[in-house]
């Protein structure tokens, strides 16, 4: 005889079916707009919130202007208070120069939308030791955007590569703990194969690298902006014309520039 029906596993149609939850869709990263003409379209609509971006360029290339424009637009257009940490220029000098673009940082400071901290380069250790105190200030003011200008000035203090990396890593640890969207300015340099690097090769520790190139054409200096890298985000791969105007930095994605032409 064949197998009896009782030997076959029965299906209990009365048992409720199990509905497995579908995997949640990955959350879309929140974008922090710079409102710098032409730049947001190059970086997929803005920087990822809480990311750390290095802005690299030679002296006079506009990297400080770009970073301050990022802070000013955040405070005035999006009510996002900013913090500017400088190891180079004095606050009064910055306030004076930025008025030429119509940016009244003194007024923003009175409105508690901007905080300026000055540290001489040789006092970077004091900055690191005061990280927790500054973090309290970040929370108190509701600061969401930070600029540090510049990392080159204090890294020059250390002759040993190990010590430079150690100080930079500690600085990055402090900045990431604050949870703000941060721009770090740095002196930049090109390589023989056309790559762009920061002076001390720390760009791999940041989430992105923007480089401002100085290009001479017919005896006239022009500037061009390149998004060298932007971690986990689409971005324009071209090097585009950039100008310093009476309104601040403007980038022209429709006008790519080929260095060396």
Structural domain for 170, as ranges: 30-256
CA distances from 43 to 38, 56, 234 (A): 9, 16, 7
Domain-located, residue 199? yes
β-bridge mates for residue 141, sequence order: none
Residue 9 has pLDDT above 60, yes or no: no
Query: Which tokens belong to 27?
Result: 């959350």
For 79-97, what is each residue's pLDDT tens digit?
A: 999 999 998 888 999 999 9
What mean pLDDT is reported for the chain? Answer: 85
Residue 8 has pLDDT above 50, yes or no: no
Residue 119 CA neighbour count, 13 Å, CB half: 23
Q: CB count, 10 Å around CB of 83?
A: 22
For 124-166, what is each residue's pLDDT tens digit?
A: 889 989 999 999 999 999 999 999 998 888 788 888 888 888 8
The structure's pTM equals 0.84
Number of domain units in the chain: 1
Question: At 187, is the pLDDT very low, low, confident or very high (cuts 50, 70, 90)?
Answer: confident
Domain-located, residue 21? no
CA distance 61 to 210: 12
- Reference 229, options 18, 48, 30; nearest CA is 48
Domain-located, residue 50? yes
Q: Is 170 exposed, middle or buried (0-12, 13-18, 19+ CB in 10 A)?
A: middle
Q: In this structure, what CATH number is given to the domain that contains residue 140?
A: 3.40.50.300
Instruction: Give me the mean pLDDT over the 189-207 stretch.
Output: 64
Domain-located, residue 25? no
Domain-located, residue 131? yes
Q: CB count, 10 Å around CB of 109?
A: 16
Domain-located, residue 5? no
Strands (E), 68-205: 82-86, 114-118, 145-149, 181-190, 196-198
> Reduced to 3 states, what is the DSSP secondary structure of residue 241?
strand
CA distance 68 to 62: 10
Domain-located, residue 15? no
Domain-located, residue 230? yes
């Amino acid at each position: 005889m064949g197998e009896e029906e009782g030997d076959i596993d029965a299906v209990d149609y009365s048992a409720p079916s199990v509905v497995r939850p579908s995997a949640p869709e990955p959350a879309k990263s929140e974008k922090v707009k710079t409102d710098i003409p032409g730049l947001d379209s190059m970086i997929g609509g803005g920087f990822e919130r809480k990311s750390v971006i290095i802005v690299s360029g030679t002296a006079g290339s506009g990297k400080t202007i770009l970073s301050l424009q990022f802070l000013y637009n955040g405070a005035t257009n999006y009510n996002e208070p900013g913090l500017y940490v400088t190891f180079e220029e004095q606050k009064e000098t910055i306030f004076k120069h930025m008025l030429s673009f119509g940016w009244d940082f003194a007024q923003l400071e009175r409105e508690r939308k901007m905080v300026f901290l000055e540290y001489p380069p040789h006092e970077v250790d004091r900055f690191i030791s005061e990280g927790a105190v500054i973090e309290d200030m970040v929370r108190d003011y509701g600061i969401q955007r930070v600029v540090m200008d510049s990392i080159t000035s204090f890294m020059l203090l250390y002759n040993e590569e190990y010590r430079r990396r150690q100080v930079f890593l500690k600085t990055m640890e402090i900045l990431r703990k604050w949870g703000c969207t941060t721009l770090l300015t740095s002196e930049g340099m090109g390589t023989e194969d056309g790559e762009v690097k920061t002076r001390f090769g720390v760009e791999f520790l940041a989430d992105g690298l923007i480089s401002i190139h100085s290009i001479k054409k017919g005896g006239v200096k022009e500037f061009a902006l390149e998004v060298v890298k932007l971690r986990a985000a689409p971005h324009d791969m071209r090097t585009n014309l950039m100008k310093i105007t009476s309104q601040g930095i403007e980038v022209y994605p429709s006008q790519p520039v080929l260095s060396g032409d």
